[in-house]
A and B are shown apart, each in its own frame.
Chain A
Amino acid sequence: MNAQRLLSLAALALLVIAPLVVSEFSVTLLNYIGLASLVAIGCSLLTGVGGLTSFGQAAFVGLGAYTTAVLTTQFGWSPWLTLPAGLALTAMVAMLLALITLRLSGHFLPVGTIAWGISLYYLFANVDGLGGQTGITGVPPLQVADHVLNTGREFYYLVWFFVVLALIAVRNLLDSRPGRAIRALRGGITMAESCGVDTQHYRAVIFLLSALVACLSGWLYAHLIRFVNPSPFSINLSIEYLFMAVIGGASHVWGAVVGATVLTVLKQWLQDILPRLIHASGNFETIVFGLLMVLLLQRARTGIMPLLARFLPLDRPVRVPALDAGAARQDAPLGARERPLAGELLLEVRDVVRRFGGLVAVNRISFEMRAGEILGLIGPNGAGKSTLFNLITGVLAPSAGEVWLRGERIDRLRSRQIAQRGVARTFQHVQLRPAMSVIENVAIGAHLRAGGGVIGAALRLDRRSEASILREARRQLERVGLGAELLVPAGSLPLGSQRILEVARALTADPMLLLLDEPAAGLRYQEKRALADLLLRLRGEGVTILLVEHDMDFVMNLVDRLVVMQFGEQIATGLPAQIQADPAVIEAYLGGVE
């Protein structure tokens, strides 16, 4: 048994024993911490992991609480039926909000949820059927089998059962194919989409999940307190839930529980002590929370979990599958692509133009690529090479001209759709998730080659396909020479190795067309030779490669043909020897002879 598992068991044992030994007051506090933890787990997933913010979480809690309060007191429903009803209602609202805000940039979700949070709060307070400010009394207690959960101690086990369930589900989810997609969201949409991740879908998914756990917390709350009124569902509470997620940090799922505990206990204590200090009554704790948050975000943005992780064995390393054939046979096979025949017309760029305002970054570029060739794209800095890459991969749309891939026009497609068609790329400015391990970064590349949704991942039904993804990631990493560094954080690699990591990530997608943007920059001589060997081997396997590179020795010995760009114009196209003798190219690189 490893230390990590031992710690989990110890924590679990502590959870089970706690209500038997502590005071009634402490049990109440623990119940509140549990209820807050549920919401904070959602916030942590949404904000800490996914980089989105919601100010409507308390409103979702309210939705869960009011749904069950109304249905049980006014329509006589069983509480066990009101839970699905509340969840369904919450899902509808969350999907609607996601639909209208997630197409916009990230800061419109908080704006939309502020509107939703405030509207719902005033609706609770002002609609007659909902009891107005006085609220709804007489919510029935929960009943498990024949046992009525009347006391806080009994209720405690139900609350924490759900908390532990949510923790396990989220932990499982994050360690999976959809989980890696979710963790990639914060690293820039461009990278995730280029690996085929539907970022809007996953943003909607985490928003939905965070809303659902909030609703669950509200349902529990209503049956614990047996009374609902609008005040615990105001926007200030939403802000507190967000703070809990920030305090804990997103590096470990337990962070949400730690954050909820710190904030709940601190609030209790401050509400006790501050009014006496100030000689007035009021919610003075907000001052402390506000200042604390500002300090925390300035000084320790990752929250307090990384600090705890130094003393406790909290980190669960990814289990790296072995590469031997016997183990691999049990895996679910990854999707493989049918390869074009050597010499088949693969990519056609026709008179492509891209303007940025008055600047023409790419002007009427045309070339073709046939399957199994390496085409070099060279030119001085600012020639428009990376822009051209972005036009081919759908990150940018051309202002004019067309791009065709195997007889299909792709210049109006999104980069995700182009990735689906077998185009993989690396970036001039490395785009990876520095805190994620090397192997997990590379595994993002295999996103489109396996299925598996969020629910399967949370229930651990995806282990076979997960093993094959990680095995493939490991295989590609061994191939590019990073096999010794599978588990270190990607950000700790030297820049040259980070570029090579991107190559491995692209290879994990099993591409037929590979676009490499300065892969050799920052590599030493030996490493460059190894890279060149790798690219030649890939060509032998039928992979077509478009290469941007500044190192002329590297390029000239590797490529079959070259396209030369300068100031957005195509100044030459041809074999390496022709290009080296071309007067226009010599002038572009060395300056003209006056």
Chain B
Amino acid sequence: MDVQIALLLAQDGLTNGAIYALLALAIVLVFVVTRVLWVPQGEFVSYGALTLASLQLGKVPGTVWLLVCAGLATALVDGVVAVREGRLRRMPRSLLANVVLPLALAALATWLAPRNPPLLVQILLTIALIVPLGAMVYRLAFQPLQRASVLVLLIVSVAVHFAMQGLGLVFFGPEGARTPAFTDVRFELGVMTVSGQSLLVIGASVFLIVVLYLFFERTIYGKALRATAVNRTGARLVGISTSLAGKLTFTLAAGIGAVSGILIAPIATIYYDSGFLIGLKGFVGSVVGAIVSYPLAALGAVLVGMLESFGSFYASALKEVIVFTALLPVLIWLSLRSRHVEEDDEE
């Protein structure tokens, strides 16, 4: 391997690593706020990539139907609870968020799709179609289980992965899709050719991380989420609803997933089930920070990207083996650092 190849691989690794880092951050966020080990983060990635790909082909993306169905299911569950608890006053809000908004988005997407809108509009529409799914997933799967153990939440998370992956197959079909590159620009930097695409991905990731940082540091909602992460009961006592925190968290996770999907769409061919492995690579990254530290998670994710990139150069068939086996030394390291852990589980 010469320097040129090494630099090229590093660039690839960094590009993928930047996307994994976004996913790792979402996974850490979901875990610290809701205690859910969020395995299906990758599903949002496939949804994002495949939605954008459909829009570029001038087709109405399957996400439209998925969103409308999920919204109706959510409104139905809300409705049943509202009737049972005699709190019908809450229903207009739920109907607005879960029925009116999805229908409006569906109408917009159906109208826009065949008209070949500019790329930026396609991207915004993709994000808009996927972001509401986050809160719906939380409402349907996790809100009734707020007091359940990490173990139960994990099994539910895996179940949601099963459902979301299967629904991806129904709504997007088995064909893969790859979108054209956002830009063909290339820069010569000494011996290295830097692709504009890579810069765009890395730049977008860094930008999003900064936005998230500002959200958590500067806004009241961001602070509410941090408070919930530190102490759920304490946060409730000062008026931060666990359900609201959960919905907000999953909304953010869906948004991050959609953006990651849009970023990865021109880099790799994405199928309905590709997201799982991509999400798991974010997961591996987040384990470097023991699924609680944001900076270490991001760092870990970048390392995963690098490992994958160099691994595929040396033994292309075994790159997944290399990436996932690399988790074992990380776990050993974590294990050696920890004093014995006491944790209590429920019945």
Chain B residues whose C-beta falls within 8 Å of the C-beta of A116 in the assembled complex: 324, 328
A180–chain B nearest beta-carbon distance, Å: 16
Name which of A126, A190, A281, A289 has the most chain B CB atoms within 10 A of its CB. A126
**Contact indicator A280/B331 (Cβ below 8 Å):** no
List A residues 17-70 near B (Cβ within 8 Å): 47, 51-53, 55
A315–chain B nearest beta-carbon distance, Å: 17
B164 an interface residue at 8 Å Cβ cutoff? yes
**Contact indicator B162/A286 (Cβ below 8 Å):** yes
**Contact indicator A290/B159 (Cβ below 8 Å):** yes
**Contact indicator A242/B345 (Cβ below 8 Å):** no
A262 an interface residue at 8 Å Cβ cutoff? no
**Contact indicator B331/A119 (Cβ below 8 Å):** no
A367 to B159, CA, bound (A): 54
Which of B152, B161, B284 is in CB contact (< 8 Å) with A301? B152
Q: A106-B343, A110-B154 are in contact. Are A287 and B166 (CB under 8 A)?
A: yes
Chain B: CB-nearest residue to A123: B321
A526 an interface residue at 8 Å Cβ cutoff? no
Which of A53, A103, A286 is in CB contact (< 8 Å) with B335? A103
**Contact indicator B341/A103 (Cβ below 8 Å):** yes
B239 an interface residue at 8 Å Cβ cutoff? no
**Contact indicator B318/A122 (Cβ below 8 Å):** yes
**Contact indicator A119/B155 (Cβ below 8 Å):** no
* A292-300, A476-484, A566-574, A581-589 - interface stretch: A292-300
Chain A residues whose C-beta falls within 8 Å of the C-beta of B331 in the assembled complex: 100-101, 104, 108, 111-112
B2 an interface residue at 8 Å Cβ cutoff? no
Which of A114, A115, A187, A242 is in CB contact (< 8 Å) with B155? A242
**Contact indicator A100/B332 (Cβ below 8 Å):** yes
Chain A residues whose C-beta falls within 8 Å of the C-beta of B149 in the assembled complex: 51
Which of B37, B158, B287, B321 is in CB contact (< 8 Å) with A239? B158
**Contact indicator B162/A239 (Cβ below 8 Å):** yes
**Contact indicator B159/A106 (Cβ below 8 Å):** no
Q: A104-B338, A395-B342 are in contact. Are A289 and B162 (CB under 8 A)?
A: yes
A112–chain B nearest beta-carbon distance, Å: 5
**Contact indicator B170/A290 (Cβ below 8 Å):** no
Chain B residues whose C-beta falls within 8 Å of the C-beta of A414 in the assembled complex: 340
Which of B150, B155, B170, B335 is in CB contact (< 8 Å) with A293? B155
B319–chain A nearest beta-carbon distance, Å: 8
Which of B164, B173, B280, B340 is in CB contact (< 8 Å) with A290? B164
A130 to B169, CA, bound (A): 30
Which of B37, B167, B321, B327 is in CB contact (< 8 Å) with A112? B327
Q: A53-B155, A287-B163 are in contact. Are A187 and B338 (CB under 8 A)?
A: no
B232–chain A nearest beta-carbon distance, Å: 17
Chain A residues whose C-beta falls within 8 Å of the C-beta of B37 in the assembled complex: 107, 110-111
List A residues 276-320 near B (Cβ within 8 Å): 278, 280-294, 297-298, 301
Which of A104, A122, A190 is in CB contact (< 8 Å) with B342? A190
**Contact indicator A294/B338 (Cβ below 8 Å):** no
B78–chain A nearest beta-carbon distance, Å: 15
A47–chain B nearest beta-carbon distance, Å: 7
A126 to B319, CA, bound (A): 10
Which of B170, B290, B342, B345 is in CB contact (< 8 Å) with A287? B170
A562 to B270, CA, bound (A): 71
B160 an interface residue at 8 Å Cβ cutoff? yes
Chain A residues whose C-beta falls within 8 Å of the C-beta of B335 in the assembled complex: 100-101, 103-104
* B15-23, B140-148, B214-222 - interface stretch: B140-148
Closest CB pairs A-B (n = 9):
A290-B163, A290-B162, A293-B159, A287-B166, A188-B344, A286-B166, A115-B327, A126-B317, A286-B162
**Contact indicator B344/A111 (Cβ below 8 Å):** no
Q: A53-B154, A114-B283 are in contact. Are A104 and B166 (CB under 8 A)?
A: no
**Contact indicator A115/B342 (Cβ below 8 Å):** no
Main secondary structure of the interface of A (DSSP, over half): helix
Interface string of A179-190 (1 = CB under 8 A from B): 000000011111
**Contact indicator A297/B163 (Cβ below 8 Å):** no
A110 to B155, CA, bound (A): 10
List B residues 272-311 near A (Cβ within 8 Å): 277, 280, 283-284, 287, 290-291
List B residues 156-192 near A (Cβ within 8 Å): 156, 158-167, 169-170, 173-174
B125–chain A nearest beta-carbon distance, Å: 25
Interface string of A138-180 (1 = CB under 8 A from B): 0000000000000000000000000000000000000000000
24 residue pairs bridging A and B, Cβ less than 8 Å apart: A104-B341, A107-B37, A107-B151, A108-B287, A108-B334, A115-B284, A119-B324, A122-B321, A126-B317, A126-B318, A187-B345, A236-B162, A239-B162, A242-B155, A243-B159, A280-B173, A282-B166, A287-B166, A291-B163, A293-B156, A293-B158, A297-B145, A297-B152, A433-B347
A282 to B344, CA, bound (A): 41
A557 an interface residue at 8 Å Cβ cutoff? no
Q: A242-B155, A297-B155 are in contact. Are A290 and B325 (CB under 8 A)?
A: no
List A residues 248-280 near B (Cβ within 8 Å): 278, 280
**Contact indicator B334/A106 (Cβ below 8 Å):** no
A576–chain B nearest beta-carbon distance, Å: 35
Which of A126, A281, A294 is in CB contact (< 8 Å) with B160? A294
A287 to B159, CA, bound (A): 9
Interface string of B5-46 (1 = CB under 8 A from A): 000000000000000000000000000000001000000000
Chain B: CB-nearest residue to A238: B158
A118 an interface residue at 8 Å Cβ cutoff? yes
**Contact indicator B169/A282 (Cβ below 8 Å):** yes
Chain A: CB-nearest residue to B318: A126
B17–chain A nearest beta-carbon distance, Å: 18
Chain A residues whose C-beta falls within 8 Å of the C-beta of B170 in the assembled complex: 278, 280, 284, 287
A232 an interface residue at 8 Å Cβ cutoff? no
Chain B residues whose C-beta falls within 8 Å of the C-beta of A288 in the assembled complex: 166
Q: A115-B324, A287-B167 are in contact. Are A297 and B156 (CB under 8 A)?
A: yes
B268–chain A nearest beta-carbon distance, Å: 17
Chain A residues whose C-beta falls within 8 Å of the C-beta of B164 in the assembled complex: 290
Which of B159, B324, B332 is in CB contact (< 8 Å) with A294? B159
A84 to B68, CA, bound (A): 54
Known interface pairs A286-B166, A294-B159; 12 further A-B residue pairs with C-beta atoms within 8 A, sorted by A's residue number: A101-B335, A103-B338, A103-B341, A108-B331, A111-B331, A119-B320, A122-B321, A126-B318, A188-B345, A239-B162, A290-B161, A434-B347
Chain B: CB-nearest residue to A390: B342
**Contact indicator B343/A105 (Cβ below 8 Å):** yes
**Contact indicator B166/A186 (Cβ below 8 Å):** no
Chain A residues whose C-beta falls within 8 Å of the C-beta of B317 in the assembled complex: 122, 126
A10 an interface residue at 8 Å Cβ cutoff? no
B328–chain A nearest beta-carbon distance, Å: 6
A246 an interface residue at 8 Å Cβ cutoff? yes
Chain A residues whose C-beta falls within 8 Å of the C-beta of B166 in the assembled complex: 282-288, 290
List A residues 453-511 near B (Cβ within 8 Å): 491
A435 an interface residue at 8 Å Cβ cutoff? yes
Chain B residues whose C-beta falls within 8 Å of the C-beta of A283 in the assembled complex: 166, 169
B107–chain A nearest beta-carbon distance, Å: 25
Chain A residues whose C-beta falls within 8 Å of the C-beta of B155 in the assembled complex: 47, 53, 242, 246, 293, 297
Chain B: CB-nearest residue to A128: B317
Chain B: CB-nearest residue to A246: B155
A188 to B343, CA, bound (A): 6
Chain B residues whose C-beta falls within 8 Å of the C-beta of A52 in the assembled complex: 151
Q: A53-B155, A190-B344, A278-B170 are in contact. Are A111 and B283 (CB under 8 A)?
A: yes
B220–chain A nearest beta-carbon distance, Å: 25
**Contact indicator A294/B163 (Cβ below 8 Å):** yes
Chain A residues whose C-beta falls within 8 Å of the C-beta of B290 in the assembled complex: 104
A179–chain B nearest beta-carbon distance, Å: 17
Name which of B159, B284, B318, B320 has the most chain A CB atoms within 10 A of its CB. B159
A474–chain B nearest beta-carbon distance, Å: 24
Chain B residues whose C-beta falls within 8 Å of the C-beta of A100 in the assembled complex: 328, 331-332, 335
A206–chain B nearest beta-carbon distance, Å: 14
A103 to B343, CA, bound (A): 12
A55 to B185, CA, bound (A): 43
A407 to B23, CA, bound (A): 54
